[in-house]
């Protein structure tokens, strides 16, 4: 997996991680794919507010970074599936911790009563 030059210039490994998973939808994509293979429209339905263009861009970046693979099946109409690579599956525990933290944060924001 070829890394982008800017990733090699970061001083902190946390910066590199945030560069790879940063972006409004990348965490959601990884979360969705942690359950297994998914097609584009399945992910789009699960993330109701993402535009087709943005989802496509975020998927391409994650593929470029070696986090997921895109498989195109030679059918009519073409079927395209996405799944996490072994490397990408290493991000799942991080995303799950983010899920837990987010749930706790929402609880903290709820008014007592």
Q: Can you give the pLDDT at residue 9?
A: 73
At residue 65, φ and ψ (nearest 5 deg) are -85, 0
Q: pLDDT averaged over consecutive 10-residue blocks of the chain (113 residues)?
A: 59 87 94 96 94 96 96 92 97 96 93 71
Structural domain 11-109, CATH architecture: Orthogonal Bundle (1.10)
The DSSP line for 33-84 is HTTS-EEHHHHHHHSTT--HHHHHHHHHHHHHTTSEEEEEE--SS-EEEEEE
Identify which of 75, 88, 110, 93 has the alpha carbon closest to the alpha carbon of residue 1. 88
CA atoms of 70 and 107, how far apart (whole Å): 37
Q: Which residue has the tokens 């590199």?
A: 16
Q: What is the pTM of this model?
A: 0.85
Q: Can you give the pLDDT at residue 7?
A: 58
How many CA within 13 A on the CB side of residue 98?
13
């Amino acid at each position: 997996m070829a890394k982008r030059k800017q990733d090699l210039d970061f001083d902190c490994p946390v910066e590199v991680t945030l560069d790879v998973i940063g972006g409004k939808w990348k965490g959601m994509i990884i979360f969705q794919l942690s359950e297994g293979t998914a097609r584009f429209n399945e992910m789009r339905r699960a993330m109701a507010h993402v535009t087709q263009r943005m989802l496509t861009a975020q998927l391409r970046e994650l593929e470029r970074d070696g986090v997921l693979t895109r498989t195109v099946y030679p059918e009519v109409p073409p079927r395209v599936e996405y799944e996490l690579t072994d490397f990408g599956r290493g991000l799942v525990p991080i995303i799950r911790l983010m899920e837990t933290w987010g749930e706790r944060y929402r609880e903290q924001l709820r008014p007592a009563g």
